[in-house]
Structure 1
Amino acid sequence: MIFRQITQADSELYLNLIHDAYQSVEQMGIHFAAATADLDTIKKHIDSNGVYAVQKSGKVMSTLSIRFPWGNNPGPYGLPHLGWFATDPEHKGEGFGRLLMEWVERSILIEQLKLPAVTLGTAESHPWLIKVYKQHGYREIGQANLGHGHTTIYLEKVLDQGRYEDWQKRNKK
């Protein structure tokens, strides 16, 4: 397996994977922006975010993006925010998403960016995602109605307790 960053050269491949992966979520009546992204949106997303993939035998199996607080679509809590998490539906349940998330957390968020914590959001009505994120160390920290037909539940994972405590002290208003 290879873990790598998605580039503009991967735009069409990334678009197809995102659409395929989010099709089942759309069928549940849950509308995420990634599900209807066009090629121009995909290219802007790659330019503005850290987009990572795991591939096996030359095929991208799963992708995950990091939105940055200083970017054009920051997360709601002043921390990097994970999103556009997608796994090829033909390989759903094979652990590629879990492996990618663990690699991104360890190699990018902790070792490279030295983050105190990270956030993500998902639809309250999704039948299993909140439970899965909680099993991987995330905890609920808030919710919002963003006008997409569902309530978004925000979750946070502390990656380094000491850095997190320091970050909290600096960010008290």
Structure 2
Amino acid sequence: MSETYRLAELKDAENLLEVTYRAYELIRELGLHWPAATADLALIEDNIATNECYVLEVDGTIVATITLSKEEEIKKISPLPFIKWFAAHPDYSNRGYGGKLLDWVEEHIIAGQLGSTAVTLATAKKHPWLVQMYERRGYERFMELDQQNGDGIMYLMKKTLIDKPQFIQRG
């Protein structure tokens, strides 16, 4: 079994649409207004082109995806890197693939390439297990928001990745 971590490409959009749509079924059932939950092909393609969308492939099949946001609006809330659109294909659930991809992005991209000491994300208070899952992974709530869109309280969560920035020696 081979595992490949990489940036998504536009040719991956249809597969990512299926993964995301299927993974976000509960989000739709809860009535949460998350763009990923009702994304169409054009929105998936825009996410790939605008942000850093990463995937985990197992034997050539995309089983998980996560996006590192490049949106300026997010930086008004927190200057730290912000992850979103995290999804694992339900056909591959309970195999740890989502966690592996999240660990890889935190370690290799956010801490490794960006040299960031922490990362942020947002999730809904009313989701039955996401808040607890992120807390088990070391995330802590640091802000509550209510965008008055019917989603209710959203928690902004932060995880410290390294105690101090790593400096890369060049030359």
TM-score w.r.t. structure 1 length? Answer: 0.87
Counterpart of 1:38 in structure 2 is 40
Contact 1:139 1:155 in 2 (8 A): yes
CA RMSD of the aligned region, Å?
1.6
Counterpart of 2:56 in structure 1 is 54
Counterpart of 1:158 in structure 2 is 160
Counterparts of 2:117 and 2:86 in 1: how far apart (Å)? 21
Q: Counterparts in 2 of 1:1-173, with a 5 A limit?
A: 1-68=3-70, 71-75=71-75, 76-150=77-151, 151-163=153-165
What is the CA distance between 1:117 and its match in structure 2?
A: 1.1
Counterpart of 1:170 in structure 2 is none
What is the CA distance between 1:73 and its match in structure 2?
A: 4.8
What is the CA distance between 1:128 and its match in structure 2?
A: 0.8
Counterparts of 2:63 and 2:148 in 1: how far apart (Å)? 30
Counterpart of 2:169 in structure 1 is none
Counterparts of 1:90 and 1:27 in 2: how far apart (Å)? 19
- The structure-2 alpha-carbon separation of the partners of 1:34 and 1:147, relative to structure 1 and needing over 3 Å to count, comes to farther
Cα-to-partner distance string for 1:40-98 (whole Å, 9 max, x where unaligned): 21111111111111111111111000113xx3552521211111000101112211111
Contact 1:48 1:72 in 2 (8 A): no
- The structure-2 alpha-carbon separation of the partners of 1:104 and 1:43, relative to structure 1 and needing over 3 Å to count, comes to same
Counterparts of 1:147 and 1:22 in 2: how far apart (Å)? 21
Contact 1:67 1:73 in 2 (8 A): no
Give SS of 2:67's match. strand
**What is the one-letter code of the residue matched to 1:90?**
D
Counterparts of 1:42 and 1:72 in 2: how far apart (Å)? 19
What is the CA distance between 1:147 and its match in structure 2?
A: 3.3
What is the CA distance between 1:140 and its match in structure 2?
A: 0.4
Give SS of 2:74's match. coil
In structure 2, runs of 5+ residues without a counterpart are 167-171
What is the CA distance between 1:112 and its match in structure 2?
A: 0.9
Contact 1:64 1:100 in 2 (8 A): yes
